Amino acid sequence: MAASDRPVYLRLRDEIVAMILDGRIKEGDALPSVRAFAADQGANPLTVAKAYQSFQEDGLVTVRRGVGMFVDRGAAQRLRAAARATFLDEEWPEIASRIRRLDIDPAELLDRASA
């Protein structure tokens, strides 16, 4: 499924996941408010709330009523493990196939990645 085919709430969730994995939101930090994140992303606040609800359902955040949602300890590690598994199981086979099809030397890819 292309990124543009994914539901908006999942794309918003992906953005928050990236912020957590990149360290822009750390464990113990509050997620941006629903309204602020919606305004920043040009999204409907109800759609953002649905994305945030998925974090709560997955046990990745703690809700402090009237204060906000806070990233739980171990959330980044769990998110990284899930993202790694998705990459290796779903994305990597297609990438590896393209590398072989285009006859690209893996060493060239590593050189470009470090440049």
Question: What tens digit of pLDDT does each residue of 70-86 get?
Answer: 999 999 999 999 999 99
Please give the pLDDT value at position 7.
95
41 vs 38: CA distance, rounded Å: 5
The reported pTM is 0.83
Give the sign of the dihedral formed by CA 19, CA 67, CA 36, CA 58. positive
- Which residue positions in the chain have pLDDT lower than 70? 1-3
Please give the pLDDT value at position 2.
62
Give the sign of the dihedral formed by CA 56, CA 60, CA 65, CA 66. negative
H or E element: which one contains 109?
helix 106-114
Please give the pLDDT value at position 114.
84
